[in-house]
Structure 1
Amino acid sequence: MTVRNVEIRDEEESAPTSPPPTSEPPDGGVQAWTQVAMGWIVMVISWGWVNSFGGFQAYYISELPESPSTISWIGSVQAWLTFSTGAFSGRLLDAGFFTPALLVGAVLQLVGIFLTSIATKYWQLLLTQGILTGFGGGILFTPSVGLVLTYFSSRRAIALGIITTGNSIGGLAYPILVRGLLPRLGFAWTMRLIGFVHMVGFALVACLMKSRLPPRKAGPIIDWVAFKESVFLSYNAGLFFFNWAMYYTFYHIGAFGIQVLGMPYSEAAYLVTIVNGVGVPARLVIPLLAGRYGPLNMMIIMGCCVTVMAFCWLATSDRVGMYIWAAIYGLFSGGFQSLIPTGLASITKSLDMVGTRLGMFFTVISFAALTGPPIGGAIQTAEHGGYRVAEIWAALATLLCTLFVTTTRVRKVGWKIGTPA
């Protein structure tokens, strides 16, 4: 009996076993690039939708008896919730609940869009377009970006760059769609058509987007250790100031065309389209360069360019100049935005913490998206409708962003210029 037990044990020990699941990202392949495609769709119907609010801002100014600063709270709350909800939804990815988060986020956003179609008052738009679609976008956005990050290592920057083109494509497409459909279908059916488009996108994502890493059930929703890391803190500070200025600019550029340059709404909406759309090539090229030179290095360069253009807004006083300025500003800001998730991943040591830290990061900068447009609008009101002081404020905030990102780079690798970071 003893011999027989030994033989069985020997056979069991020599039998082939399945290899343990690897934690190394595939960094390519059909499955990985499928996640990129689905992440792109999520980006279009979450942040592309949010960034297109400048077109709605210009329209609501002509339809609602409210000040530009008051109206901008709709878009600000929407952006704030899309960012801040990530503190919790990012942890859901790490815990293995990506699909439930996606479904809940999709339902909330769709309900918000379809209810927006019947909204006629300011408070109704704030509740539907601002709060409901913001919550929905936040629940599904952060886990989707975090999921794609887990599929790539050396190609992470270009994968994220492709995804973030959805930000620009959405910001380009929605104003064109709204501008073209409003005179023909009216506001209600324009919004419903957008809701149907989102419904198709959500169906594709739900079928094809899959988590790769095993769930990490244990662990806090917030990684408090991160707030003791100077690199993480300076990165958060820099991106706070960037979003402070950027959302003010993106939301008020159409209103600037109407109020300062005398453009009709149909023409001012093109400014929103341009500032979003021209970022597409930069979102592809800049991540390629970041893969070679490092995301933080490229963010510093792009930050300097955006800062220069932010100050150049002060010199823009006619329609042609405004179109040129919007195109160049949109190009550089698009390149900068394409590196934001990759930059955070580059200062995160463990991939299974990406979802959690993305959520924390997005929560911090969400307050910049919330307060930036109203603060800029309040500055305009104090200036009796003028834009000059608000433009200076936005430019200085962009400069602070560049300085803090530079600090992050120095904290990580030092002052040596040739070091990728």
Structure 2
Amino acid sequence: MTKTSSDDVSQAQIPLSPSQVKPPPDGGLKAWTQSVMGHLVCFNTWGYLASFGVFQSYYQNELGVSESAISWVGSIQIFLIFFVGTFSGRALDAGLFRPVFCAGVLLQVLGVFMTSLATSYWQLILAQGLCTGLGSGLQFCPTMGLVATYFDQRRVFAVAFALVGSGTGGMVFPGLVKGLLPTLGFGWTMRVVGFVMLATSLPAIGLLQTRLPPRKSGPLVELAAFRDPVYTLFIVGIWLNFWGMYFAVYYLGAFGRTVIGFSYSESTNLIIVLNGAAVVGRLVPAYLASFHLGPLNTIIPLAAAAGVLMLCWAAVHSSAGLYAFAVLYGFCANGLQGMWPPTLSSLITDLSRAGTRIGMGFTIVSFACLTGPPLGGALVAKAHGYIGAQMWAGVAILLGSLVLLGARTAKVGWRILVKV
């Protein structure tokens, strides 16, 4: 009897080999529950980050700080969600998902509540930039990795549905700020935002469950990856895309107020429309990439269209034109943002190196997100207008789309009718 019990315990402590791990269910209640919980995580992380345009306009008026300086607050958040994600994503491999995720929720909510007490620029950098960004980074990448483990054929769509949370959060949080700020003031408005984050994080803490046993991760850096022209060209192209892409996300509301003459409430509506387009912009490209075109064939026209739209923004001089730009650019930019991780993973032929190479891509792109919006703000201040920044951002995104086309050529040559 004792011997049998001891044998059972010893067998339970032996980790499962890859051959013993069951294939992903690719559907079912538990699998789709993980996707829904991933949606809530993106609601709180990317949805809050995508709402920074609301704060950009408010901080410029209340703090008297330059556009470029304010942009650093939002840029630090996006930088950290990618940069920290490089390391936090490995927590899933190591079996440490839950403590890392809970630490992320704690830091994010703490950062929002500390933002409610901030009265100076450096306090916003620490609270909204560093603390919230670090918390978002600890949540986002491990959760997306967890959702992906439950799906096979439906993986791109399931992850895309989770990423749609950036659109729903990007509508809800600006709406809260718009409705509560005039009556409650900045402090209590941010506390309400923090309570909403806490309430939507609790189901995720309870229902997100890892499916795979802990496993050893690869190295953090693999320099040999850059000998692959497809990988290198793709990373350079995405870097250029992200360098210019977030300028409109941050400055669209400020442009509406200073150039078109919008009120703060109207400029907030503009941010809501921009983020609302993400709902369609995430799902439609994911469907086309999964079942018809392939991810690389889908992301290239999205990048080219986003670059052209950024250049066309310079010709917008009416409220109707600005709303049209918000819808179209919101669709293309969010489609581009949602498609680049699955596209990168599809280009990596050696799956044993996928985690390392995707992590390297996240790290490199994080620096584009860190420097792009502040550079755009500096160009706005230098020219006393938006035309220079719009041209820089549009050209950067278009150059990125051409480099992505080069990556496709390196992959399949000049063949057109190839799903890749």
Structure-2-length-normalised TM-score: 0.91
Equivalent residue, structure 2, for 1:6: none
The residue type paired with residue 221 of structure 2 is: I
Tell whether 2:316 aligns with 1:316: yes
The residue type paired with residue 318 of structure 2 is: D
Contact 1:86 / 1:362 at 8 angstroms: preserved in 2?
yes
Using the TM superposition, give the Cα deviation of residue 352 of structure 1 relative to its aligned residue in structure 2, in angstroms. 6.1
Matches within 5 A, 1:125-164: 125-164=124-163
The residue type paired with residue 191 of structure 2 is: R
The residue type paired with residue 404 of structure 1 is: V
Distance 1:218 1:391 in 2: 41
After TM superposition, the structure 1 stretch with the greater mean CA deviation from structure 2, 160-169 or 175-184, is 160-169
Equivalent residue, structure 1, for 2:406: 407
Q: Deviations over 1:32-85 (max 9, x none)?
A: 211111111111111111111001101111111211111111111111111111
Distance 2:357 2:79 in 1: 17
Contact 1:43 / 1:141 at 8 angstroms: preserved in 2?
yes
Distance 1:364 1:89 in 2: 16
Unaligned runs of 5+ in 1: 1-17
After TM superposition, the structure 1 stretch with the greater mean CA deviation from structure 2, 207-216 or 314-323, is 207-216
Distance 1:309 1:120 in 2: 37
Equivalent residue, structure 2, for 1:297: 297
Tell whether 2:52 aligns with 1:53: yes
Distance 1:410 1:242, change over 3 A: same
Matches within 5 A, 1:164-183: 164-183=163-182
Distance 1:144 1:226, change over 3 A: farther
After TM superposition, the structure 1 stretch with the greater mean CA deviation from structure 2, 363-372 or 154-163, is 154-163
Using the TM superposition, give the Cα deviation of residue 350 of structure 1 relative to its aligned residue in structure 2, in angstroms. 5.4
Using the TM superposition, give the Cα deviation of residue 124 of structure 1 relative to its aligned residue in structure 2, in angstroms. 0.5
Equivalent residue, structure 2, for 1:363: 363
Distance 1:162 1:313 in 2: 29
After TM superposition, the structure 1 stretch with the greater mean CA deviation from structure 2, 339-348 or 49-58, is 339-348
After TM superposition, the structure 1 stretch with the greater mean CA deviation from structure 2, 366-375 or 411-420, is 411-420
Distance 1:97 1:282, change over 3 A: same
The residue type paired with residue 337 of structure 1 is: Q
Distance 1:45 1:216, change over 3 A: same
Max Rg structure: 1
Equivalent residue, structure 2, for 1:98: 97
Using the TM superposition, give the Cα deviation of residue 112 of structure 1 relative to its aligned residue in structure 2, in angstroms. 0.6
The residue type paired with residue 163 of structure 1 is: A
Distance 1:165 1:19 in 2: 32
Distance 1:361 1:29 in 2: 32
Q: Deviations over 1:256-309 (max 9, x none)?
A: 111112222111112211111112122112211111221111111212221221
Equivalent residue, structure 1, for 2:265: 266
The residue type paired with residue 45 of structure 1 is: N
**Equivalent residues, number:** 403
Distance 1:311 1:159 in 2: 33
The residue type paired with residue 386 of structure 1 is: G
Equivalent residue, structure 2, for 1:232: 231
Q: Secondary structure at the match of 1:216?
A: coil
After TM superposition, the structure 1 stretch with the greater mean CA deviation from structure 2, 323-332 or 219-228, is 219-228
Q: RMSD of the alignment, in Å?
A: 1.8
Equivalent residue, structure 1, for 2:9: none
Q: Deviations over 1:10-35 (max 9, x none)?
A: xxxxxxxx995236333222222111
Using the TM superposition, give the Cα deviation of residue 353 of structure 1 relative to its aligned residue in structure 2, in angstroms. 5.2
Structure-1-length-normalised TM-score: 0.91
Tell whether 2:336 aligns with 1:343: no
Distance 1:352 1:273 in 2: 40
Unaligned runs of 5+ in 2: 1-16
Distance 1:233 1:19, change over 3 A: closer
Matches within 5 A, 1:389-400: 389-400=388-399
Using the TM superposition, give the Cα deviation of residue 173 of structure 1 relative to its aligned residue in structure 2, in angstroms. 1.5
Contact 1:274 / 1:326 at 8 angstroms: preserved in 2?
yes
Equivalent residue, structure 1, for 2:84: 85
Equivalent residue, structure 2, for 1:213: 212
After TM superposition, the structure 1 stretch with the greater mean CA deviation from structure 2, 342-351 or 315-324, is 342-351
Equivalent residue, structure 1, for 2:201: 202
